[in-house]
Amino acid sequence: METNTTPKYIFVTGGVTSSLGKGIVASSLGMLLEARGYRVTIQKLDPYINVDPGTLNPYEHGECYVTEDGAETDLDLGHYERFLNRATSRANSVTTGRIYQTVIEKERRGDYLGKTVQVVPHITNEIKRRIKLLGNTGDYDIIITEIGGTVGDIESLPYIETIRQLTWELGEDNSLVIHLTLVPYLAASGELKTKPTQHSVRTLMESGIQANVLVTRTEHHLPKEVKAKLAQFCNVKKENVIECMDASTIYEVPFLLHEQNFDEVVLKGLDLPTDQEPNFTVWKKFLDNHKNPKNEIEIALVGKYVSLHDSYKSITEAFTHAAATCETNVKVRWVYSGDITEDNIAEQLKGVSGILIAPGFGDRGILGKIIAANYARRNNIPTLGICLGMQIMAIEFARNVLGYEKADSAEMDLTTPHPVISLMEDQKDVSDKGGTMRLGNWKCRLSKHSRIEKIYNSTDILERHRHRYEFNNDYEVEFVENGFIAVGKNPETELVEILEHKQHPYYIGVQFHPEYKSTVASPHPLFISFIEAALLSNQNDLMHATREKI
């Protein structure tokens, strides 16, 4: 594919209500355009005043996603990477807090030469600069920009005004506005209602922006007359009204949109060639395996944010990717660690083929996680601990194998006599919570002939981190002598990255977040190996149960 020197820009806005799925639509479009040979990236503009989502409660905003270069971002960036199989960066995530922070810092330095600093032009110019950062690299043909929130929100107005300016500055055929909106079905009258969409488009037009394509979220197919009505009253072509119904999996959405020529409509709107047919080979194989599994297992996800499943979005999606590779349906049992006790642990985890001890922060639900790790270790249940999950496994081992009853993490108990998990030296004097952790890609060297080396088929890997506390190397010798071995370390700092139990079928803790690197095209090897171990455990349990019946 011959690429353009000047990138084209697509802006995705939303109306009527939040949570319509702008991130999935943007990701699906990106995947379709990539499949046609275009180099695509997606960025998110979030209207909240937080500098980044790093300090937000997962119940408030879902998981915090981390990029390779260490940016703490919105979970939509996870969708972008999973669909595009392309890494994002801090340039792909912008918040109002970061915009204002930059503008205020410039004003304090005197960069504006004493002028009155205003939303227009100073804030809008900074937003424009951020939008164009990715385009200026020369790495992309098309930049998709998703605007968070809903048209008409006060906090979104500077972004909408910026888009108005940019579409005018870029010129005809160089930009496109896609508006995602809701067409509700009223059961009482048995009708699909277009008025909410009309009002939403009108609000957008009042800000000086004409939507070029409408993507309508609906629970029912749109009849031709409804599409014609939307086209007429929203000033778009009939073929540019695209319906987006609920799918059995988010990974079907690109195909549902492609069936309506969504990618072709967009490319024509940008005056780009449509002659190259999309290559869906990898996705079709993935979907076929996903929809037709040969096996089924249940894995317990033990965490403290389980009432909002989006808190562990990347983990559940990593299960989906790896499960398709293993031709297995993975059913997740959500187990709130705060409810786990010594008395009910057997019942809470009865019948599961594997246990994932989830990441997190703070001391709530920690004891339940320790009890779960102990149960998994003693009963030979395949277990994967991620970040805090690895630290929990270390604490449990120190208490119940090494005999240090009061062993703990310094994060939970500063007075513990055995801080098997302690604060990084260069973080001990830091008081701010935001941006103070070990973030982004860090090197890890794997021990030769270890199980983890066979899983990765490599001795040197790069994985993403998000934490402040580390395994205390003062305890490493005792751990190794008792069979819990540090099989992965950072080659520069000697910080422990991976613990692996020598006598256990599969008991692995990793300090990093492998789920962030899992995509449809590249499922993560740790999740594949974990599911394979759980499958083997499940088969062994079935054989044992059969023998008992005999």
Task: Cite the annotated binding site for UTP by residue number.
Answer: 18, 193-198, 229
Dist. CA 216–CA 200, nearest whole Å = 12
Pairing of strands 72-73, 8-14: unpaired
Strands 175-182 and 438-446, bridge-based pairing: unpaired
Active-site option among 387, 453, 497, 504: 387
What are the binding residues for Mg(2+)? Answer: 76, 146
- Sort 144 into a burial class: Cβ within 10 Å, 0-12 / 13-18 / 19+: buried
Pick from 439, 444, 416, 413: nearest CA to 508: 444
Residues 133/102, Cβ–Cβ less than 8 Å: no
Distance of alpha carbon 424 from the chain centroid: 26
The DSSP secondary-structure symbol of 221 reads P
Give the chain's count of helices (H) and strands (E): 18, 23
Residue whose entry in the numeric block shows the structure tokens 């879902």: 62
Long-range contacts from 478-482, C-beta under 8 angstroms, 24+ separation: 478/402, 479/394, 479/397, 479/398, 479/402, 482/397, 482/401, 482/402
Taking the C-alpha atoms of residue 74 and residue 95, their distance in angstroms, rounded to an integer, is 10
Q: Give φ, ψ of 369 to 5 degrees.
A: -65, -40
- Which residues contribute to the annotated binding site for CTP? 18, 153-155, 193-198, 229
CA gyration radius, the chain: 25
Q: Which of 122, 501, 504, 513 is catalytic?
A: 513
Cα-Cα end-to-end distance for the chain? 64
* Maximum pairwise Cα distance, the chain: 88
Q: Is 515 a catalytic residue?
A: yes
Cβ neighbours of residue 314 under 8 Å, at least 6 residues apart? Answer: 63, 65, 75, 78, 513, 515, 516, 518
Task: Summarize the annotated binding site for ATP as residue ranges.
Answer: 19-24, 76, 247
Known catalytic residue at 34: no
Q: Is 31 left (phi over 0), alpha (psi -120 to 50) or beta?
A: alpha
- The residue annotated as part of the active site, out of 81, 321, 515, 524, is 515
Distance (Å, whole) CA 226 – CA 527: 45
H helix or E strand, kind and range, residue 396: helix 388-400
Write down the residue that tokens 């509700």 correspond to: 184
Whether 504 is catalytic is no
Could you give the residue numbers annotated as active site?
387, 513, 515
